């Protein structure tokens, strides 16, 4: 693994390094595997990206693409066994999170980096009042004096636009609607003013009108606090609206990276092109036929040789079967992992 | 960093059916030995018990009732491995034939009880509504009485004897087991494919046979093994109280109580031998049953999903 | 009730639902009377014409799935009338039910749960054939299943495999083949693509379109994804809290939605295009969430979230009214006879709240 054996314990928060000022989190060659009955699954394979200060970075992919595993690997939340991070570095403020002792990473979770999950129903303890659960991160990290905790909780609920926050503190999770619960989860995530929020499908379980409320709220809050957000989702509509930059994942690898404009208007990887063509949109012509991507995603315990997308790719060439294309820079922000040079006409 | 080897899959697909039964059985045996060594031991004990019962006349050809007054209360020796009782009968031969009796009673009563459980459970769980209500209240009523009281009353009415014991134990365990089967049926009914079968107009017998019963098989098998041990114990208990199988039939429970207790100090082997036989048999069947339950339950395989949920709960802080 | 000659008449709609109500007891009370009723469907009317796809859309709890189940006659009606192929099936007898079970089929959301893992694909797809005794010999049965496999784009040799050997999209094809087996006239699709990934979703959407074109199928398409519905459905019924709020063909519904809820729903969908001009159409104008169908608000069910709500809306539920031919809206705003009352009313809660804030 990493060669960095720095004094990571004590200086969890203050470690200005030689990082470019804009980068908050840098992931290098992350590799996470799962041991299964029938072999090793390379769920995340050689993934590198960075999150800049104040931006919303999206990771999009279909189920099994490794997007959630990537997020969980960053905070070392991979269930082990059967999972294992077998390589790479996750540099946050210049220190490698994969090298931190357990205590230090626990300290960091929720304080510097917090995570918001998909299911608001199971993420809250049904037998504890909202106030108690909201105060938990504040108590754990001791970031607010004890007598100020309740005040801060009310402030947090107000921030996520929950009406009548004094009363809501004494409510139990089942007394709140799904959207409200997700707001509480966001409030918990925000409690310690994290610098990075990882939102893993934060609205998938919610109705579309509620989804809009929650996502607008999340974006407004991250903007106001100048923190960064990693948005993990399969919903291209959500990505188009909220992301500054986008990583497209397929079969455990990043296949294309670029600004929202790059990805939606100038996609250069056949998979991204395929996604755009197969998706019904509200603004396309009524009655036009969708162009699906043929086949299904590969079995990651037995991935295809060469480019993982080549069996489904209509542009595939003999080379794609033998050699895996590296992620290469096209221009300032735009990267792709493909041997074929696509232009706007495909 | 190295990979650990023995962990089951993160998200193993639920019980993939295989067409050829043979490799499936082999695979199952391998899993049994690897994941549940105690269960494998239990399986071996069960096998020995079964073989002993089947071949009792070969193993101990002199029979269980060969009275020999000269050889009374002899200690274990080369000739009488487990000694003799107060009538000079060979204790080993009686244990062996007792195994036969136990096997007959256990399998007959357990089979009866499983049939009753399956019938009641499926009727109640699948058809539901008023029928369910009536059956469940009757089961409630039945379960209000302590088992022993029911047994004693039943024996008083029917009189002692092997078939009476089978009937009584079968009924007793059958009714209480129906609850478990009902639960399994209720959860099988939740499957979308059951709804699909109903919506295409499939008849109830067809749905039960094709879609419900296969889901109930695992709990039925498990119920069968756990009940087997319980029936052996219950039969011994009844015989110990003199309500079970009447002498001279060599029931283990009867041997413990009649001969064992009277001669406990002169001839302790009279109590120790059937006691150990009983303990080992029940232990073996229970271990095997536990292992079966765990191995057949897809929820016991892997733990990725549950783990993930727990992680998600805890890291909010 | 004359079934025999009814389906020769192509001009009658295939399905007519009027005044449909489905109420469930929440839990039985102590003395037989239910403690509370869930008004899952509370007065729904719509018509499905032969050969069209009618979309039933709305957010969770709007009653769209229950409506589908009621049409399928898998859930009892509390009130109302369902006429299928000219025959009243509100209270069908055993023979009618048996016939219905053949003429209407369902495609499910969950491609994993909808197929019995212990059955071969051959027997899953062939189950309706067996149930209704539609084939006489083993060979005929197999041949029919092979035809169906081919129809949905699967290979013949897949017939002897088990569901777990297939991907989600393939399983959904198997489910569709099963629905086609008995040669139904109406297929109820309950969120058939919402569990699938985008790239697979398009395959299934195209398949459903092809089948409709080739076999002249009629779909009742229950879904929450308005982009998919816009693509597949000819006409759309928008539901909210057990009622129909708007019915229109897709061009009119998506270009000129009339009901404030439909407008809000369409405005809240993020469009997959980062272009600022496109994003400007994004307008999540409603607050709050769908109330409980156990205790729905009085009057118009949408009034607590509606930016235009007035006293009239709080008091009285609007009736569906035709604003154009084939476009009906249940909203007082679009009722000319109520214009006076709407204009002279108090400002809504929402506006009051906004003024205070």
Say which residue, C72 or B32, is predicted with more confidence: C72
Let me know the angle formed at the C-alpha of B193 by B187 and B194, rounded to the nearest 5 degrees.
Answer: 55
Are A333 and A259 contacting, i.e. CB atoms less than 8 angstroms apart? yes
Q: Where is average pLDDT lowest: A18-22, A90-94, B42-46, B94-98?
A: A18-22
Closest C-alpha to C130, from A287, A74, A38, B203: B203
Is A108 within 8 Å of A100 (Cβ atoms)? yes
Q: How many domains does chain A have?
A: 1
**Is residue A273 domain-resident?**
yes
CB atoms within 10 A of CB A31: 18
Residue B285 pLDDT more than 60?
yes
Give the orientation angle of helix B269-296 with respect to helix B21-35, to 10 degrees: 120
From residue C264, alpha-carbon distances to A40, B185, C342 in Å are 47, 44, 20
Query: Which residues in chain B are contacts of C118 at CB distance < 8 A?
Result: 17, 214
Q: Region A257-271: what's the mean pLDDT?
A: 93
For residue C281, what pLDDT band results from cuts at 50, 70 and 90? confident
Cβ atoms of residues A229 and A214 within 8 Å: no
Which residues on chain A are in Cβ contact (under 8 Å) with B307?
Answer: 79
Among the ranges given (A301-315, A320-334, B241-255, B290-304), the one the predictor scored with the smallest mean pLDDT: B290-304
| Band of pLDDT at residue C10, cut at 50, 70 and 90 | low
Per-residue pLDDT at B67: 75
Tokens representing A220 are 């407004």
Does B183 have pLDDT greater than 60? Answer: yes
Structure tokens at B69: 């007054």
Cα(B255)–Cα(B238) distance, integer angstroms: 12
Q: Alpha-carbon distance C215 to A191, whole Å? A: 58
Place of tokens 């088992």: B147
Task: Fold for B34-52+81-300, please state it.
Answer: MetI-like fold (1.10.3720)
* Residues A50-70: tens digit of each pLDDT: 999 889 999 999 888 999 899
Predicted confidence at residue C34, as pLDDT, reads 62
Which residues 155-194 in chain B show a CB within 8 A of chain C?
Answer: 191-193
- Touching check for C161 and chain B: CB below 8 Å? no
In a domain, A333, yes or no: yes
Query: What is the tally of structural domains in chain C?
Result: 1
The HSE-up count of residue B63 (CA atoms within 13 Å, CB side) is 6
Q: For the residues A249-256, what does the mean pLDDT come to?
A: 94
CB of A290 within 8 Å of any CB in chain C?
yes
How large is the ipTM?
0.84
Q: A35 and B304: CB-CB below 8 Å?
A: no
Instruction: Kindly provide the b/e burial profile for residues B13-34, where b requires at least 16 CB atoms within 10 angstroms of the residue's own CB.
Output: eebeeeeeeeeeeeeeeebbee
pLDDT at residue B73, as a whole number: 73
Give the residue, B171 or B261, on which the prediction is more confident.
Answer: B171
Residue C70 has pLDDT above 60, yes or no: yes
CB contact under 8 A, C274 and A264: yes
Nearest C-alpha in B relative to C104: B200
Kindly tell me if the per-residue pLDDT of B294 is higher than 80. no
Q: Is residue C349 part of a domain?
A: no
Contact flag B200-C128 (C-beta cutoff 8 Å): yes
pLDDT tier at C327, thresholds 50, 70, 90:
very high
Q: Is residue C306 part of a domain?
A: no
User: Residues of chain A with pLDDT > 70: what percent?
Assistant: 92
In this predicted structure, the answer to whether residue B301 has a pLDDT above a threshold of 60 is no
Q: Is residue A269 part of a domain?
A: yes
Integer Cα distance of C42 and C295 in angstroms: 12
Q: Which of residues 44-103 of C touch B (CB under 8 A)?
A: 72, 74, 97-98, 100-102
Is B305's pLDDT higher than 60? no
Average pLDDT over all residues of chain A: 84
Highest mean pLDDT among B84-93, B225-234, C195-204, C334-343: C195-204
Which of B192, B195, B197 minimises the CB distance to C127? B197
> What average pLDDT does the segment C297-303 reach?
90
Residues listed for chain A: 346
Query: Looking at chain B, which residue has its C-alpha nearest residue A123?
Result: B313
Integer Cα distance of C235 and A133 in angstroms: 47
Q: Exposed, middle or buried by CB within 10 Å (0-12, 13-18, 19+), for C12?
A: middle
Q: Match 């003799």 to its residue by tokens.
A: B84
**C74 phi and psi, to 5 degrees?**
-105, -5
List phi, psi (to 5°) of B13.
-65, 140
Buried b / exposed e along A135-148 (16+ C-beta atoms within 10 A) = bbbbebbebbeeee
Residue B16 pLDDT > 80: no
Q: What is the mean pLDDT of chain C?
A: 87
Residue A86 and residue B3: Cβ atoms within 8 Å? yes
Task: Specify the 3-state DSSP secondary structure of B301.
Answer: coil
pLDDT of residue C253: 92
Q: Enumerate the residues of chain B whose CB falls inside 8 A of the CB of residue C132.
A: 200-201
Burial of A181 (0-12, 13-18, 19+ CB in 10 A): buried
Please answer yes or no on whether B312 and A33 come within 8 Å at the CB atom: no
- Torsional sign, CA C145, C151, C157, C162: negative
Which residues span the domain enclosing C96? 9-256
Q: Any CB–CB contact under 8 A between C116 and chain B?
A: yes
CB contact under 8 A, A242 and C270: yes
> Which tops the pLDDT comparison, A288 or C259?
C259
* Residues 6+ away with beta carbon under 8 Å from A147: none
Distance between CA atoms of residues C293 and C190, nearest Å: 20
The reply to whether residue A212 touches residue C167, judged by beta carbons under 8 angstroms, is no
pLDDT category of residue A261 using cuts at 50, 70 and 90: very high
- Mind listing the pLDDT tens digit for each residue in C224-246? 989 999 999 999 999 999 999 99
| 3-state DSSP percent of chain A in helix, strand and coil, to 5 | 30, 25, 45
pLDDT of residue C73: 93
pLDDT over 70, % of chain B: 85
Under DSSP, the state recorded for A75 is: T
From the candidates B2, B8, B10, B302, which should be mutated to test the interface with A, based on the most A CB atoms within 10 A? B10
The pLDDT-based confidence of B121 (bands split at 50, 70, 90) is very high
How far is CA A15 from each of CA A9, A170, A193, rounded to the nearest angstrom? 11, 39, 18
Report residue A288's pLDDT band, with 50, 70 and 90 as the boundaries: confident
What pLDDT digit, counting tens, does each position of A85-95 carry? 988 999 998 88
pLDDT over threshold 70, residue C94: yes
User: What is chain B's percent helix, strand, coil content, to nearest 5?
Assistant: 75, 0, 25
Per-residue model confidence (pLDDT) at position B112: 94
pLDDT at C345: 53
Q: What is the pLDDT of residues C13-43, one digit of tens each?
A: 999 999 999 998 876 555 556 667 888 999 9
The candidate with the shortest Cα–Cα distance to B163, out of B153, B155, B173, is B155
Chain A segment 200-219 residues within 8 A of C by beta carbon are 207-213, 215-216
Q: Residues with Cβ < 8 Å from C60, sequence gap 6 or more? A: A207, C224, C290
| B7–A35 C-beta distance less than 8 A | yes
User: Residue A332 belongs to what H/E stretch?
Assistant: none
Q: Which of B66-70, C128-132, C164-168, C350-354 shows the highest mean pLDDT?
A: C128-132
Give the pairing of strands C87-88 and C79-84.
antiparallel
Q: Quick one: which of C306, A185, A94 has its CA closest to B317? A: A185
Looking at residue A271, its pLDDT comes to 94
List, as ranges, residues 284-303 from C with C-beta within 8 Å of B: none
**How far is A210 from C289, CA to CA, in rounded Å?**
7
Is the pLDDT confidence value at A327 over 50? yes
**What six digits make up the tokens of C146?**
């092979």
Residues C291/A207, Cβ–Cβ less than 8 Å = no
Q: What pLDDT was estimated at residue C31? A: 55
Please count the residues of chain B: 317
Which chain B residue has its CA at the smallest distance from A106's CA? B315
Q: Is there a contact between C274 and A240 (Cβ–Cβ < 8 Å)?
A: yes
C96 CB neighbour count, 10 Å cutoff: 17
Q: Contact A240/C271, CB-based, under 8 Å?
A: yes
> What is the pLDDT confidence band of residue C357, given thresholds at 50, 70 and 90?
very low
Residue C254 has pLDDT above 60, yes or no: yes
Chain B: partners with 3+ C-beta pairs within 8 Å: A, C
Cα(C152)–Cα(C178) distance, integer angstroms: 10
Confidence of residue B4 (pLDDT cuts 50, 70, 90): very low
How far is A101 from chain C, CA to nearest CA, in Å? Answer: 38
Write the CATH number for A93: 3.40.50.300
Q: Where are the beta strands (DSSP E) in chain A?
A: 23-36, 39-52, 56-60, 83-92, 95-96, 113-116, 196-200, 228-233, 245-250, 253-259, 328-329, 335-336
Structural domain of residue A340, as residue ranges?
A: 22-109+244-282+291-346
B137 CB contacts (<8 Å, ≥6 apart)?
none
A96 burial via Cβ count (<10 Å: 0-12, 13-18, 19+): buried
Measured CA distances, A200 to A197, A252, A254, B274 (Å): 10, 16, 17, 62
pLDDT digits (tens, 9 = 90+) for A127-156: 888 888 888 888 877 777 888 888 888 888
The mean pLDDT value of chain B amounts to: 78
| Structural domain includes residue C357 | no
Residue C126: predicted pLDDT: 94
Give how far A132 is from chain B: nearest CA, Å.
11
Phi, psi of A113 (to 5 degrees): -130, 125
B115 and B122 Cβ atoms separated by less than 8 Å: no
CATH number, domain at C20? Answer: 3.40.50.300
Q: Is residue C356 part of a domain?
A: no
């Amino acid at each position: 693994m990493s060669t960095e054996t720095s004094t990571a314990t004590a200086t969890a928060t203050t470690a200005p390094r030689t990082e470019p000022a804009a980068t908050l989190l840098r992931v290098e060659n992350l590799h996470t595997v799962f041991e299964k009955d029938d072999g090793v699954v390379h769920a995340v394979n050689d993934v590198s990206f960075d999150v800049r200060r104040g931006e919303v970075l999206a990771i999009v992919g279909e189920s099994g693409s490794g997007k959630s595993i990537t997020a969980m690997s960053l905070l070392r939340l991979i269930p082990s066994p059967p999972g294992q991070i077998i390589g790479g570095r996750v540099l946050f403020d210049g220190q490698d999170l994969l090298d931190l002792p357990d205590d230090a990473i626990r300290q960091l979770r929720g304080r510097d980096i917090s995570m918001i999950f998909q299911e608001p129903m199971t993420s809250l303890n049904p037998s504890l009042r909202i106030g108690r659960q909201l105060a938990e991160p504040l108590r754990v990290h001791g970031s607010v004096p004890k007598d100020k905790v309740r005040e801060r909780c009310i402030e947090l609920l107000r921030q996520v636009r929950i009406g009548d926050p004094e009363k809501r503190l004494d409510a139990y999770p089942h007394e709140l609607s799904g959207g409200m619960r997700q707001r509480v989860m966001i409030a918990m995530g925000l409690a310690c003013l994290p610098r990075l929020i990882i939102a893993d499908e934060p609205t998938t379980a919610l109705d579309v009108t509620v989804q809009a409320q929650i996502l607008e709220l999340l974006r407004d809050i991250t903007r106001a606090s100048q923190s960064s957000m990693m948005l993990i989702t399969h919903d291209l509509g959500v990505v188009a609206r909220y992301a500054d930059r986008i990583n497209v994942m397929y079969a455990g690898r990043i296949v294309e990276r670029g600004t929202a404009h790059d990805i939606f208007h100038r996609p250069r990887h056949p998979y991204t092109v395929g996604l755009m063509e197969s998706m019904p949109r509200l603004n396309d012509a009524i009655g036009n036929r969708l162009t699906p991507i043929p086949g299904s995603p590969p079995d990651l315990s037995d991935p295809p040789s060469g480019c993982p997308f080549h069996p489904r790719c209509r542009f595939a060439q003999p080379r794609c079967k033998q050699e895996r294309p590296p992620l290469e820079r096209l221009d300032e922000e735009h990267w792709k992992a493909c041997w074929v040079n696509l232009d706007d006409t495909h | 960093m190295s990979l650990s080897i023995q962990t089951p899959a993160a998200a193993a697909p639920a019980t993939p059916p295989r067409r050829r039964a043979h490799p499936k059985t082999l695979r199952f045996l391998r899993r049994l030995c690897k994941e549940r060594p105690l269960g494998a031991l239990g399986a071996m004990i069960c096998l020995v018990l079964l073989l002993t019962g089947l071949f009792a006349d070969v193993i101990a050809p002199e029979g269980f009732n060969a009275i020999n007054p000269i050889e009374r209360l002899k200690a274990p020796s080369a000739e009488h491995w487990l000694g003799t009782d107060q009538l000079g009968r060979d204790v080993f031969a009686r244990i062996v034939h007792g195994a036969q009796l136990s096997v007959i009673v256990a399998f007959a009563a357990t089979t009866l009880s499983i049939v009753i459980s399956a019938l009641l459970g499926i009727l109640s769980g699948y058809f539901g509504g008023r029928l369910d209500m009536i059956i469940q209240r009757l089961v409630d009523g039945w379960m209000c009485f302590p088992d022993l009281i029911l047994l004693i009353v039943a024996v008083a009415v029917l009189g002692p004897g092997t078939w009476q014991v089978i009937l009584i134990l079968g009924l007793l365990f059958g009714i209480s087991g129906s609850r478990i089967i009902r639960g399994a049926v209720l959860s099988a009914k939740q499957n979308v494919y059951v709804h699909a079968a109903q919506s295409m107009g499939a008849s109830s017998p067809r749905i039960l046979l094709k879609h419900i019963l296969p889901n109930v098989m695992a709990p039925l098998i498990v119920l069968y093994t756990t009940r087997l041990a319980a029936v052996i114990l219950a039969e011994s208990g009844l015989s110990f109280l003199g309500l079970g199988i009447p002498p001279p039939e060599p029931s283990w429970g009867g041997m413990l109580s009649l001969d064992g207790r009277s001669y406990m100090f002169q001839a302790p082997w009279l109590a120790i031998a059937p006691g150990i036989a009983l303990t080992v048999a029940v232990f073996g069947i229970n271990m095997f049953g536990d292992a079966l339950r765990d191995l057949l339950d897809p929820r016991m395989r892997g733990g990725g999903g549950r783990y993930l949920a727990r992680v998600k709960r805890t890291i909010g802080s | 009730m004359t079934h025999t000659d009814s389906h020769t008449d192509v001009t009658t709609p295939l399905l007519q639902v009027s005044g449909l109500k489905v109420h469930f007891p929440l839990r039985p009370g102590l003395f037989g009377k239910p403690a509370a009723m869930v008004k899952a469907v509370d007065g729904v009317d719509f018509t499905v014409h032969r050969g069209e796809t009618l979309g039933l859309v709305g957010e969770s709890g709007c009653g769209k799935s229950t409506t589908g189940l009621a049409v399928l006659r898998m859930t009892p009606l509390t009130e109302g009338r369902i006429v299928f192929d000219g025959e009243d099936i509100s209270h069908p007898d055993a023979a009618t039910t048996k016939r219905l079970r053949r003429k209407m089929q369902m495609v499910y959301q969950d491609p994993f749960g909808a197929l019995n893992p212990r059955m071969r694909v051959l027997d899953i797809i062939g189950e309706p054939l067996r149930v209704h005794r539609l084939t006489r010999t083993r060979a005929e049965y197999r041949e029919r299943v092979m035809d169906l496999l081919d129809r949905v784009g699967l290979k013949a040799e897949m017939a002897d495999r088990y569901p777990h050997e297939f991907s989600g999209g393939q399983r959904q094809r198997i489910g569709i083949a099963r629905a086609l087996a008995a040669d139904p006239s109406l297929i109820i699709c309950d969120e058939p693509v919402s569990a699938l990934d985008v790239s697979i979703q398009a395959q299934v959407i195209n398949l459903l379109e092809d089948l409709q074109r080739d076999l002249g199928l009629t779909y009742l398409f229950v879904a929450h994804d308005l982009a998919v519905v816009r693509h597949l459905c000819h006409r759309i019924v928008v539901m909210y809290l057990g009622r129909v709020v708007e019915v229109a063909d897709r061009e009119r519904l998506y270009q000129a939605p009339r009901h404030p809820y439909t407008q809000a729903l369409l405005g809240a969908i993020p469009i997959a295009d980062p272009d600022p001009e496109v994003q400007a159409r994004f307008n999540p104008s409603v607050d709050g969430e769908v109330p409980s169908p156990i205790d729905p608000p009085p009057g118009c069910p949408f009034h607590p979230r509606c930016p235009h709500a007035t006293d009239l809306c709080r008091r009285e539920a609007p009736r569906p009214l035709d604003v154009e031919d084939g476009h009906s809206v249940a909203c007082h705003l679009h009722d000319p006879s109520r214009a006076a009352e709407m204009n002279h009313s108090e400002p809504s809660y929402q506006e009051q709240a906004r003024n205070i804030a």
